[in-house]
Amino acid sequence: MLNQRATVPLPTSGIIIRRNGKYQYVFKVLRTFRNDKGQPTNTRVSIGRLDADGTKLIPNNNYFEYYEPGESLSYASDYESVISLGAAFVVDHILTKLGVTRFLDEALGRRRTQSVITAATYMVCEGNVFDHITDWCENSLIGRSTLTPQIASSLFASITRDERMAFFKKWIRKHGLSGYFSYDVTSFSSYAEGIRDLEWGYNRDGDRLPQLNLGCYLAQESCLPMFYVTYPGSIVDKSYLPYMMIYNDELGIGNSIIFVMDRGFCSTDNINYMHEAGLLYVMGADTRTKATRAAIDEVISSGNQLSLRYQVSDGVFAHSAHSRFFGEQTTLHIYHSPSLGDHQRSDLMRVIVNMEHELAQLRSLSEKERAHYSRYFDIAKSSKGLTYSRNYDRIDVATRYCGTFCILSNTDITIAEILRIFRRKDTIEKGFDDIKNHIEMKRLRAHSDATIEGKLFCAFIALIAATVMTNKLRDYNETSSRRTMSKRKLITELEKIRVCETAGAKRLLHPLTKTQRELLELFDASLDDIRLYVNQPE
């Protein structure tokens, strides 16, 4: 914790200064060494940050463990603390209004709930690296205990599975007992060793690192994340689907929920499981199977594929086939978009032209390469090298299904509504983008199973707040005549709302600007709400 009223001379040796945002932080080097790769590195501890002039050190508690300041320690007698609390207030306001704070209280108790909300707020505002959370707390929070990186790690490790499940049950009971749940999977990479679920698998981010997978439910109408579970990174998405659905009973999710998934989950085993379990689904289907191809061919040969009587959306035409698909009697909805078809044919043509350029450079082919190029070319070998020509019969087969996509469903929802629901599943992908990029959880930056689980739980709470911010900003940007506001700019603007504390009294440092008032109204908050927040009992 920074002693912001005190300053000491900057140590002349054994320190490193690093900038993070607008501040420069000072670290005492404890040990230097070379790591396993022979690269020089060190262990160090934060001892404070530079003052505004960059000439003196504002010490934290660690400083006094290593140095004896003596008479060099000076205090500002006319000190006023200024706290940038606007962003922290909005996150707290969102979580309180949604019931998150109450459910956390009931699952974790008041003390740890406040710490979880502090960690989640820090993630929304600053990201996943907790090195500077102590200083951030000093500059951004009122009436709440300060976290250090060490306390944060202990907090993460203390959150048990039963406590997380207790929260999820309450959360889902209020916000997700009916409607549509999008289900999808993402992965998080890590350099850590000895983590149970870190395994090599298909890495969506292209990282050459082991990973763990995270499956998540998201309520489509509210766009709020509902539940997540982690599992080993080597398990493919479609294999885990039945194991994810088993949690439904424990969570109190009945059969009124309709699960929306992309075609990566479509398999005979999964379709059989959904039917046997009595679960409703809207699921993308692979168009390359014999049964789906036959259904698509029947629509094409009918000549009605582009009949206006089958138009269900702008530029999209649809037909339904009731038959046996993927081992079950169900409904395959066949959609065709001419504009999508044009785009896919253009992409295919680029692939074919690139293949021709590659073939022109080759003098021989391996069996694997021959199979690759033979998809669209007739290839022969002569005394002069390779000869090749486009096989338009194969190309025509490939383009026959351009613009066509299929969705399986065992519901009685209309074919137009199925398309609308399926299109909204990308909200969960935007949530994954938020948790990986805005909250910066692309790398886990934790080194034990318990710490990772607890940190992901805090990131989930942060994602709830960040999702609300995203949704509100979308509405704001659609109606505002000003330049589009990003989530990062929103946080920066809110952080300009500052409170001055002098002799125990707290007041706003400046009146709210028009933009700040608009942003508070966006989250159904007002100046009076800030005043209550500022003067809450400590």
Q: In 3-state terms, what secondary structure has residue 252?
A: coil
378 Cβ contact list (under 8 Å, min separation 6)? 388, 389, 390, 391
Start-to-end C-alpha separation, the chain: 17
Report yes or no on 49 lying in a domain.
yes
Report the number of distinct structural domains present in the chain: 2
Report yes or no on 371 lying in a domain.
yes
Domain boundary (79, 96, 126) is at: 79
Report yes or no on 34 lying in a domain.
yes
Look at the chain and count its residues.
538
User: Is 341 exposed, middle or buried, given 0-12, 13-18 or 19+ CB atoms closer than 10 A?
Assistant: middle
Alpha-carbon distance 335 to 406, whole Å?
Answer: 6
Report yes or no on 366 lying in a domain.
yes
Report yes or no on 537 lying in a domain.
no
Residue span of the structural domain in which 58 resides: 6-79
416 Cβ contact list (under 8 Å, min separation 6)? 312, 313, 318
Q: Which parts of 286-429 are beta strand (E)?
A: 311-313, 316-325, 328-336, 377-382, 385-390, 404-409
Closest CA to 456 of 187, 183, 133: 187
Helices 100-108 and 110-126, packing angle to 10 deg: 130
Q: Do 91 and 504 contact (CB within 8 A), yes or no?
A: no
Q: How far is CA 187 from the centre of its chain?
A: 10
Beta bridge partners of 2: 60
Query: What residue type is 166 in one-letter code?
Result: A
Q: Which residues of the chain have pLDDT under 50?
A: 77-79
- Indicate the DSSP class of residue 523: T
Report yes or no on 59 lying in a domain.
yes
Give me the residue label for tokens 């318990």: 450
User: Is 71 exposed, middle or buried, given 0-12, 13-18 or 19+ CB atoms closer than 10 A?
Assistant: exposed
Tokens of 500: 């001055």
Alpha-carbon distance 305 to 449, whole Å?
Answer: 53
Give me the residue label for tokens 């946080």: 491
Q: In 3-state terms, what secondary structure has residue 281?
A: strand
Q: Do 328 and 272 contact (CB within 8 A), yes or no?
A: yes
Q: Do 376 and 398 contact (CB within 8 A), yes or no?
A: yes
Domain boundary (384, 400, 416) is at: 400
Report yes or no on 500 lying in a domain.
no
Closest CA to 248 of 278, 284, 282, 213: 278
Domain boundary (79, 101, 119) is at: 79
Q: Do 117 and 95 contact (CB within 8 A), yes or no?
A: yes
pTM of the predicted model as reported, rounded to 2 decimal places: 0.78
pLDDT, position 225 = 92
Report yes or no on 135 lying in a domain.
no
Q: How many CB atoms lie within 10 A of CB 232?
A: 16
